[in-house]
Structure 1
Amino acid sequence: MTSLLERLSAERQRRFVGRHFELQLFQQAIASPQLPFHILHVFGPGGVGKTSILNQFAQRCQQINVPHYYVEARNLEPVPESFLSALRSLTRLNELDSPLQFLATQQRNVVLIDTYENIATLDEWLREEFLPQLSENTLIVLAGRNPPSSPWHSDPGWQALINTLSIRNLNPEESQTYLSKRDIPLAQHRAILDFTHGHPLALSLVADVFAQTQEISFQPESAPDIVKVLLERFIKEVPTPTHRMALQACAVVRITTEALLRQMLGLPEVHDLFEWLRELSFIESGQLGLFPHDLAREVLIADLRWRNPDFYAQLHHQARSYYSTRLGQIQEKEKHRVLFDYIFLHRDNPAIRPCFTWGEHSSLLRDSLQESDKSTLLGMVKQYEGEESAKIAAHWLGRQPQNVVIFRSQQQIAGFAMMIALHEASSDDLKVDSAALACLCYLQTHAPLRPQEGATIFRFWMASDTYQAVSPTQSLIFINFVQYFQSTPRLAYTFLPCAEADAWTPMLSYFDLMRLPEVDFEVGGRRYGVYGHDWRVVSPTAWRELLAKREVAADAEIEASTSVSQPMLVLSREDFVEAVQNALRNFTRPDTLQNNPLMRSLILDEQVVLDTPGESTLYTLRDRITTLQTLLKQAAESLQDFPRDEKLYRAVYRTYLNPAPTQEQAAELLDLPFSTYRRHLKAGMIRIADILWQREIS
């Protein structure tokens, strides 16, 4: 009859996947005439499968009859006597016998010590006293959450005798193999892999849920028990509530620095918290700061959103404020990295998550176009879009080379983006490029440009190896687009053509780019779909407010609202001046001001957000009327800064801002002839309209 132990071993073997390199390394070591190393240190975060690997090591020993002894340090006191007692029991020795002497008599043996972090205080004793007394035929395997302490590597002797294995998550293929072995429906694999990132314990827990009932659709927020178990495995005990908040803050942002952590937690000093985070087994240190392993991030965020959504939103708000401040402090060439951190805050939204890669991208650098780059760029366009597109790209390279951004990796071109200023295009340019012509025709029909306003089409964008598919280069290209329209003055409209337009609909709709089928164009037999955004209708400030609301939402369904119930008006100069003059005449009459066209202008939308900070859903009508009055008053008061205009201000002040009963009385108060007073009043209204118009179009 099969024993229960044999049945257990068979089930473990059936469900075990991956780890080919680790198993091969161990098997070759124990089969070698002379051990290539004497300490094998296996480390990784909780639940990553260290115990399963040790069980496989034990099975390999059993297959070739190598004696092995499995020590579970979780059950030990961190003192030498407890460790020696456990070894005595495993080797079936008497209480007075020495485990060291026994192990020395074996030709080849393996001691497997699991949960090594539980006896970390014995590390020095083991290294300095116990291990040196073993025979050279003994292999010690240490498995724990933390990498070897520094003395293992600083001592030249141990440095030569130790081998370290960092255990990571299973790759996608191995993860799918495991799910298939557990009979998980194929339709559920993608959602499960997106959450687990191949973490073995997470895969196992999700599979256990499906074993109970397969009539479910996996969502991490709906499985708090799974999240709870994983969270316990990752963090065990958190010293204080403040430490827990620091951990949650680290999960929300892409890269954590001390300065960012200080702002997110609102604490004057966070050095000790930062150092504590740095020591956690599932927190990694990169070039720019700290970040958690993927699953640890998923688990922490899922738990936080389920347990305390208000604090989740607060952390986002604090991080967003930090990035906004940083964007105003750093040079242009550094802004794409901060913008990437900014966009990362949207990662939890299902419309955004699959469209970016979120690593550090440290090898990718943003650069300007060099003359030697042109042939490579044209070769890329020809490869992915054909000969005819390459000719168009060559034309624009000659006309607007300053609008090309290159992304390099180790001096090689990894991708590029070419932005075309449509308002600078000539009739000859439009004959060459049907895309530019289609965009300008759309503008003339639906959104005419006003004087000094510009429009851009992101005409060509691609990675050298993946074209427009999701990749690190594509992610930085999109960040560059955001940087471009945030920093380009007087930009009224942007167009973005895509080779696979439908694939980008969820993400681009989330970012408030509207699908424009009437602008779609065809080049060389290939059709391109176009998206667009009118920055006069939803301004950069209103756009950021919209994204701030979507950022912490569970889905992408928040509507693009510009804080008013009616659409924005893109006024011509003549209509704008008339609206300003009308608003001045009715400055003290809110009931009339509410119908003024300026109530739906870009300048008012920008200012109302600044005057009413926070993340309220809709600004009230009273807010907007008050803001309009403030704009008019500020523009009028600015006339006092110029001696020639001060007399104009006085006329406006006495007529509209603090009006006399009649214009005749206003002229008397100013001690002016009525005709002179009227001339000053008219000139003052024109100057105020000019001041506000410049703000409107900039």
Structure 2
Amino acid sequence: MNPETRRFTSLAERLRAARQRTFVGRAAELDLFRAALDDAAESFAVQFLTGPGGIGKSTLLRRFAEEAAAAGRTVVEIDGHQGSRTPEAFEADAATMFTHVGAVLLVDDFEAFEPIEDWLRERFLPRLPAGALVVLAGRRPPDAMWLSDPGWEDVLRVIAVGDLPRADAVALLTARGVPSALHPALLTFAGGHPLALSLAASAERNGEGEDAAWTPPQDVVGALLTRLVGQVPSPVHRQALEVSAHVRTTTEGLLRDVLPEADAAALFAWLRQLSFMEPASSGIRPHDVIREILDIDLSWRDPQRYEDMHRGLIRHFVAEVRAGSDPVGFAQMEALLYLLWDGSSLFSERDAPHVHEDVLRSGDRDTILEIAAKRTNEETAAIVGFWLERRPETFAVFRDSVTGEPAGYMVSLRLTAPDDEENSVDPVVAEAWSYVRRMSPLRDGEHLAIVRCMLSRDSFPSPVGDLIAARVATIAIRSEGVAWICLVLSDPDRWKRFAVFGEQDALLVSVGDRTFGLLCRNWQETSPEAWLEQLKPRRTSQPVRMPHDRFVRRYEVLSRAEFDAAVRGALRSWNRPDALANSPLIPTRVVAEAGPEPVDALRRVLRETVERLDADPRDAKLHRAITMTFMQNTPTQQAAADRLGLPFSTYRRHLTRGLDRVCELLWRRELLGERR
């Protein structure tokens, strides 16, 4: 027999000792209870512990019972999930409170007594003798009647029970026998949530202690779901929960968009009243552990639906960014970044940002150069000084909202052609131009966007880093005519984290004693939303990224002159499928995205564009000229003019203007994808 067990006279005594050994933290709550024990008449006669499931309320009540018994008090314990929940049953269970001076009443799972809560507040509790102490514990806080009644103000103390601080969480894992090497992984999953920590510890305390790549076993996830979430009213309620777990915060508008068949208002009201939901500045969000287990469970249980939900949310936030004004777009962009970066340590979740974006101001120069020198080197600071003089409008400054001082900044260059002076001063910009000209030169109406500097006083991740990331993504999603976006990274440790953005391994460029990474992505061949939808959520494997030396073009990239000539040639070949099959437009983006059958896709694109002319009364005559000439088997242009009843010169003017207009519309569609 284990010598540690011989001193116990009963199983209950042994259980009590084990619980005491693993009890950690909660010093503030214990101090309040002990003060009330000393003199409940002068302290708080009723304490109300509130917090989500598994947060430790029942454990705390058990400890309160031991403290009260040790102080010589009579303890009455009532569990809301056991027995009848009527006034008569409660009176019977709590009868001892009226026969013993200074008795202590501990009520767990108080939400089960909601049907008789008014009776308890108005009839039962006021009858308790002086010196009695009551502790109620439930997932939901007391309703408004408790808080609005001035009579209860002096005797009721509401105590929100939250996560354990990190030191206490570590102490709990240690007490449960978890090897220290596994602590970081278990803390990442469970944070300070006591039940999650305990279940994870039970699953892993016999591990080797050397493999820190820990993920929660599915039985732990299932147990937590059962205990913390429980049953939900319907499948659509389950979907709403899963959405809330996958996004940064949830709003009624988000639910309306991603669950269009559901009653978004009712779903949001249901989510809002759940005990594990927390209010945030931009909506509601589940407790971190609930978020984690819901997301893990769906990705394991139904991987395809998990990915479909993820892609649907990306489409929602991209549409919000594109349609909104800057402030709205930034909020939605941060929500999109959370989808892509949660769990990667790139994103700094925050409710009350202490920085905001602003323009460059006259007194910023010295601070900006100081940040550049501190975070990079003097040579880069000199280059930043050059761009301050050359293109001051390209600086976005992120200011401390209290002091107004720059906390960081970003330089985003919008370049349409190489400039000898700029290239000679800035070798990074010169390398970007060299790469772009080798891989896919700019066409008319396109530009190269280079995020030349992304610098902050503080290390990333940080609120400044979040604003920079949001601005970079907004450039890609909102900018028209951007052919390439290049990111310049000053920290080699971050290159791999951003590697998903580039089409190649980072190009290395030296500036003084510092090596910078240059990541470039071509937008001539795809749209931002299409690319984002290809990035699988973090709980699934990412697609393989094409290496730099094997860059393969998916679409043909024509110059504007080549493109216009191909459009005119395709219209002339409208009735000759064999000629259309050989059109230079077939491998272009505008046709390839229109359908799997090349000739049908080309015809569809041409017809849609010509029909757009008919939608504008000012262009209706141009539409008639093109339709009669190319799409109605008219043998000659003179015959087309006759059938339209127009002088030949007027007809030719309409036809020329119509062709120019069709070429322009198609060129914009080629540059911007389906955005027209």
* TM more than 0.5: yes
CA displacement at 1:516 relative to structure 2:
4.7
CA displacement at 1:52 relative to structure 2:
1.8
Instruction: Output one character per residue of 1:85-122: Cα deviation in whole Å (capped at 9) or x when no partner.
Output: 3334xxxxxxxxx53241x3x4xx54322222222334
Give the distance between the partners of 1:197 and 1:63, measured in 2 at CA: 32
1:36–1:546 CA distance, 2 compared to 1 (3 A): same
Give the distance between the partners of 1:270 and 1:593, measured in 2 at CA: 48
Task: Name the aligned partner's letter for residue 489 of structure 2.
Answer: C
Give the distance between the partners of 1:321 and 1:487, measured in 2 at CA: 14
1:304–1:123 CA distance, 2 compared to 1 (3 A): same
CA displacement at 1:531 relative to structure 2:
1.0
- 5 Å matches for 1:198-209? 198-209=192-203
Q: 1:514 aligns with which of 498, 503, 507?
A: 503
Q: 1:23 aligns with which of 24, 30, 44?
A: 30
The answer on whether the counterparts of 1:577 and 1:689 sit within 8 Å (CA) in structure 2 is: yes
| Residue equivalent to 2:600 | 626
Give the distance between the partners of 1:661 and 1:139, measured in 2 at CA: 101
| Residue equivalent to 1:572 | 559
1:638–1:167 CA distance, 2 compared to 1 (3 A): closer
- 5 Å matches for 1:34-183? 35-61=42-68, 67-88=74-95, 99-102=97-100, 104=101, 106=102, 110-183=104-177
The answer on whether the counterparts of 1:546 and 1:560 sit within 8 Å (CA) in structure 2 is: no
Give the distance between the partners of 2:29 and 2:510, measured in 1 at CA: 52
CA displacement at 1:442 relative to structure 2:
2.3
Give the distance between the partners of 1:314 and 1:451, measured in 2 at CA: 37
The answer on whether the counterparts of 2:318 and 2:477 sit within 8 Å (CA) in structure 1 is: no
CA displacement at 1:128 relative to structure 2:
2.8
Instruction: Output one character per residue of 1:553-608: Cα deviation in whole Å (capped at 9) or x when no partner.
Output: 722126689xx995233322343344334434544455554554433334335xx2
Give the distance between the partners of 2:253 and 2:656, measured in 1 at CA: 53
The answer on whether the counterparts of 2:399 and 2:408 sit within 8 Å (CA) in structure 1 is: yes
| Residue equivalent to 1:297 | 291
Give the distance between the partners of 1:38 and 1:644, measured in 2 at CA: 80
1:300–1:517 CA distance, 2 compared to 1 (3 A): closer
- 5 Å matches for 1:10-409? 10-31=17-38, 35-61=42-68, 67-88=74-95, 99-102=97-100, 104=101, 106=102, 110-185=104-179, 188-211=182-205, 218-220=214-216, 223=218, 225-267=219-261, 269-309=263-303, 311-313=305-307, 315-316=309-310, 319-346=313-340, 353-361=344-352, 363-408=354-399
CA displacement at 1:405 relative to structure 2:
2.4
1:375–1:78 CA distance, 2 compared to 1 (3 A): farther
State whether structure 2 residue 528 is matched by structure 1 residue 540. yes
The answer on whether the counterparts of 1:35 and 1:139 sit within 8 Å (CA) in structure 2 is: no
CA displacement at 1:482 relative to structure 2:
0.8
The answer on whether the counterparts of 1:255 and 1:288 sit within 8 Å (CA) in structure 2 is: yes
The answer on whether the counterparts of 2:296 and 2:539 sit within 8 Å (CA) in structure 1 is: no
Aligned to 1:355, the other structure's residue is in SS state coil
Give the distance between the partners of 1:136 and 1:671, measured in 2 at CA: 104
The answer on whether the counterparts of 1:404 and 1:419 sit within 8 Å (CA) in structure 2 is: yes
CA displacement at 1:492 relative to structure 2:
1.3
Instruction: Output one character per residue of 1:387-410: Cα deviation in whole Å (capped at 9) or x when no partner.
Output: 333333233233323222233453
Aligned to 2:81, the other structure's residue is in SS state helix
Give the distance between the partners of 1:541 and 1:259, measured in 2 at CA: 20
Give the distance between the partners of 1:541 and 1:587, measured in 2 at CA: 32
Count of paired positions: 658
- 5 Å matches for 1:650-665? 653=627, 656-659=630-633
Give the distance between the partners of 1:23 and 1:11, measured in 2 at CA: 19
1:160–1:197 CA distance, 2 compared to 1 (3 A): same
Aligned to 1:169, the other structure's residue is in SS state coil
CA displacement at 1:380 relative to structure 2:
2.7
The answer on whether the counterparts of 1:43 and 1:167 sit within 8 Å (CA) in structure 2 is: yes
Instruction: Output one character per residue of 1:20-58: Cα deviation in whole Å (capped at 9) or x when no partner.
Output: 433344345545797532222211111111122223333
Give the distance between the partners of 1:280 and 1:646, measured in 2 at CA: 58
Percent of aligned positions that are identical:
34
State whether structure 2 residue 446 is matched by structure 1 residue 453. yes
Task: Name the aligned partner's letter for residue 458 of structure 1.
Answer: V
Gaps of 5+ in 2: 1-6
The answer on whether the counterparts of 1:72 and 1:114 sit within 8 Å (CA) in structure 2 is: yes
Give the distance between the partners of 1:594 and 1:647, measured in 2 at CA: 29
The answer on whether the counterparts of 2:251 and 2:282 sit within 8 Å (CA) in structure 1 is: yes
| Residue equivalent to 1:525 | 513
| Residue equivalent to 1:489 | 480
Q: TM-score, normalised by structure 1?
A: 0.81
Instruction: Output one character per residue of 1:345-374: Cα deviation in whole Å (capped at 9) or x when no partner.
Output: 4467xxx64322344455553333333444
Give the distance between the partners of 2:74 and 2:252, measured in 1 at CA: 49
The answer on whether the counterparts of 2:36 and 2:45 sit within 8 Å (CA) in structure 1 is: no
- 5 Å matches for 1:550-589? 550-551=536-537, 554-557=540-543, 567-589=554-576
What is the RMSD of the two structures over their aligned residues, measured on CA atoms?
4.0
CA displacement at 1:455 relative to structure 2:
1.2
- Bigger mean CA offset, 307-316 vs 285-294: 307-316
Specify which structure has the higher proportion of helix.
Answer: 1
Task: Name the aligned partner's letter for residue 145 of structure 1.
Answer: R
Give the distance between the partners of 1:286 and 1:669, measured in 2 at CA: 67
Give the distance between the partners of 2:324 and 2:464, measured in 1 at CA: 22
| Residue equivalent to 1:431 | 424
CA displacement at 1:166 relative to structure 2:
1.5
Give the distance between the partners of 1:680 and 1:238, measured in 2 at CA: 64
Task: Name the aligned partner's letter for residue 391 of structure 1.
Answer: A
Give the distance between the partners of 2:575 and 2:655, measured in 1 at CA: 17
Instruction: Output one character per residue of 1:148-182: Cα deviation in whole Å (capped at 9) or x when no partner.
Output: 22222212232222222212223444434433443
Gaps of 5+ in 1: 89-97, 612-618
1:373–1:318 CA distance, 2 compared to 1 (3 A): same
The answer on whether the counterparts of 2:179 and 2:205 sit within 8 Å (CA) in structure 1 is: no
- Bigger mean CA offset, 663-672 vs 410-419: 663-672
Task: Name the aligned partner's letter for residue 107 of structure 2.
Answer: I
Task: Name the aligned partner's letter for residue 625 of structure 1.
Answer: V
Instruction: Output one character per residue of 1:501-558: Cα deviation in whole Å (capped at 9) or x when no partner.
Output: 443424541xx4234543x2233522221211111133335324434xx249722126
